[in-house]
């Protein structure tokens, strides 16, 4: 499969999102399709992207059945069990704030200008488990450039959809968080080429339990920074509030970079368990600084105390 990225790609060579959606039925039963060329059948052991790891991807079954998505419940199997109720078509995305060209887009129109690319990223959860996931998406930087940020913009804030009738974790008395789920990045983090908006994984349209139809992926940060089911992207001057930092500031910092030297108050972050490698008794592996992306992103934090600004 030929996947091209970056500026200067002719519009005639960009995979239309409609074509992306119309190839074949998604294995979970929803109407969804593979990217042109049948990448799902190829096994995804490697990628054209220079940003991909060469590590073996986590099995698709584990990627789609072992998730944190508290809008559908606190258990790891709850999202796969409950996310089918979420309506993802139609879907609207707002991009606004400190920008010259704000807009509200249908999902198809929002995605249409961008060339989709497969990237295999390591992903690390703050709870101590990790996966390797073949995402399909495009750089967030291209969205930001499209709306022309003002000079006063310093951060990017994100917001998840609120639909209590469809998202079982958003209703009832025992809700874990205040809704909507919100997250944020510093502008230079958002513009970094590793930061993408994902619309698929494993060559398929993004499953609902994994954040359909649009989610953030920031591979050097703990997984909860990669907000799911996004409906709003806003450029702001001041550091935005984020859900887990607001809920438990002692445990979850704004930056939330993967750092084995900074323990969670209730457990060590020095090692991790790779899902799909032997269950609860799998060999634990050392956690890598910035989840193994230090060469690419360490310069973003030069001079910062990463134990205080965790």
Which residue segments constitute the domains of the chain, with CATH numbers given? 11-301 (3.90.420.10)
| Confidence bin at 175 (pLDDT 50/70/90) | confident
DSSP secondary structure, 173-239, as one string: S--SSPSSPEEEEEHHHHHSTT-EEEEEETTEEPPGGGTTT-EEE-TTBBGGGS--SEEEEEEESSP
Which range among 13-27, 196-210, 222-236, 287-301 shows the weakest confidence by mean pLDDT?
A: 13-27
| Confidence bin at 97 (pLDDT 50/70/90) | very high
Residue recorded with tokens 């993004």: 206
Q: What b/e string do you get for 259-274 counting C-beta neighbours within 10 Å, with b at 16 or more? A: bbebeeeeeebeebbb
Q: Has residue 220 got a pLDDT over 50?
A: yes
Query: What is the CB neighbour count within 10 angstroms for residue 162?
Result: 14
- Residue-wise pLDDT tens digits, 244-266: 999 999 999 999 999 999 999 99
| Confidence bin at 40 (pLDDT 50/70/90) | very low
pLDDT for 160 equals 98
pLDDT for 10 equals 41
pLDDT for 48 equals 58
pLDDT for 165 equals 96
At residue 59, φ and ψ (nearest 5 deg) are -55, 140
């Amino acid at each position: 499969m030929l996947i091209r990225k970056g500026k200067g790609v002719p519009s005639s060579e960009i995979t239309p999102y409609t074509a992306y959606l119309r190839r074949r039925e998604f294995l979970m039963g929803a109407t969804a399709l593979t990217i042109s060329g049948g990448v799902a059948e190829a096994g995804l052991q490697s990628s054209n992207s220079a940003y991909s790891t060469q590590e073996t991807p986590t099995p698709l079954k584990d990627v789609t059945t072992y998730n944190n998505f508290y809008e559908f419940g606190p258990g790891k199997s709850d999202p796969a069990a409950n996310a089918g109720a979420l309506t993802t078509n139609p879907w609207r995305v707002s991009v606004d704030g400190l920008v010259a060209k704000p807009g509200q887009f249908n999902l198809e129109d929002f995605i249409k200008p961008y060339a989709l690319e497969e990237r295999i990223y390591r992903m690390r959860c703050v709870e101590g488990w990790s996966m390797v996931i073949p995402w399909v998406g495009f750089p967030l930087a291209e969205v930001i450039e499209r709306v022309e940020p003002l000079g006063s913009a310093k951060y990017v804030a994100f917001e998840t959809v609120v639909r209590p009738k469809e998202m079982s974790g958003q209703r009832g008395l025992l809700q874990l968080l205040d809704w909507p789920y919100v997250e944020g990045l510093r502008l230079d983090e958002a513009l970094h080429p590793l930061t993408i908006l994902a619309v698929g994984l494993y060559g398929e349209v993004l499953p609902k339990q994994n954040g359909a139809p649009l989610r953030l992926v920031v591979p050097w940060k703990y997984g909860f920074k990669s907000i799911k089911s996004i409906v709003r992207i806003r450029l702001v001057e001041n550091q935005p509030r984020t859900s887990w930092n607001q809920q438990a500031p002692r445990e979850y910092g704004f930056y939330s970079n993967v750092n084995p030297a900074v323990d969670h108050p209730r457990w060590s972050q020095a090692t991790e368990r790779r899902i799909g490698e032997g269950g609860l008794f799998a060999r634990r592996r050392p956690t890598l600084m910035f989840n193994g992306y230090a060469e690419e992103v360490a310069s973003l934090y030069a001079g910062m105390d990463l134990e205080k600004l965790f």
